[in-house]
Amino acid sequence: MAFALLATSRVAPAPGPPASAACRRRPVTGATSFLLRAHPRVVASTSSSSASSTTGGVSRRLAAPSRRGRQSTLTVRAAGEADDARGGGKTLAGAGFAVGIALFAATNFGGAPTLAALEKDAVPLDVALTNGRPSVVEFYADWCEVCKESAPVVYDVERQYGSKVNFVMLNIDNTKWGGEMEQYGVDGIPHIVFLDAKGSSEGQVVGKFPKQVLEANVAALSEGRDSLPYAKVAEGVSSPVKVAGIVETPGAAVDDPRGGAVSSSDPRAHG
């Protein structure tokens, strides 16, 4: 959208003491008007009148106290509305308008997706195991740096397949999930388990993983395939965890949800 900014000003000498070296807001004695052309056009100006609204057109005034006890009013009018006849010609610095735009952008546009965002959209485990859809179950912790780094990847894949696949988040710091951690052999996080529509494990990914691995596995789940492209991935960096009932011993094995055992030399045992 193109904008054209026209400015006219009348400045008269300001009475009072000379300006000091400190940064202070100086009294305004002239008048400056700005015309911002867009669709619809919006005109911003100020007057010394009190806060009010016009019923005949789109007009609102936001009053703010001035330095001298008067009231400066910001008026926003739709294109075609006449200038306020009572306007005293007080100047509104254009910087204020720019600051407002910056604050709006900062408030409405966030940064990269976080673990908190994933938690908010997560499907409860009991629901995921009974709604007839395949599931992606991630064991994580708020202190896990690898989990934080992987959050945007999981978020993107969830946005793509969330209508067909459950995405479940289980925080290992919650002792409630101790049984599930032991069941799936969780000794490093992030630890992702892929469940089919019946709740049976089809594969797992442990540690840092590329997006294509997660995306390919979730796509296979959503299509009901018999096997996953990456049924067992444990080559990435993970954060080690200690869970009651899971003992790390050199040469020992931990349970694998698909059967068999995984040696402790596997990266999952050491993080």
Instruction: Count other Cβ atoms within 10 Å, centred on residue 140.
Output: 25
Active-site residue flag, 147: yes
**DSSP for residue 156:** H
Active-site residue identified among 43, 137, 144, 262: 144
What is d(CA 19, CA 254) in angstroms, rounded to the nearest whole number? 76
What does the block give as tokens for 181? 């951690």
Active-site residue identified among 28, 115, 146, 147: 147
Sequence-separated (6 or more) residues with CB below 8 Å from residue 107? none
**Strands 232-233 and 201-206, bridge-based pairing:** parallel
Helix and strand totals (H; E) in the chain:
7, 15
Question: Looking at the DSSP assignment, which residues form a beta bridge with residue 9?
Answer: 32
What is d(CA 50, CA 198) in angstroms, rounded to the nearest whole number? 67
Active-site residue flag, 23: no
Task: Give the active site residues.
Answer: 144, 147
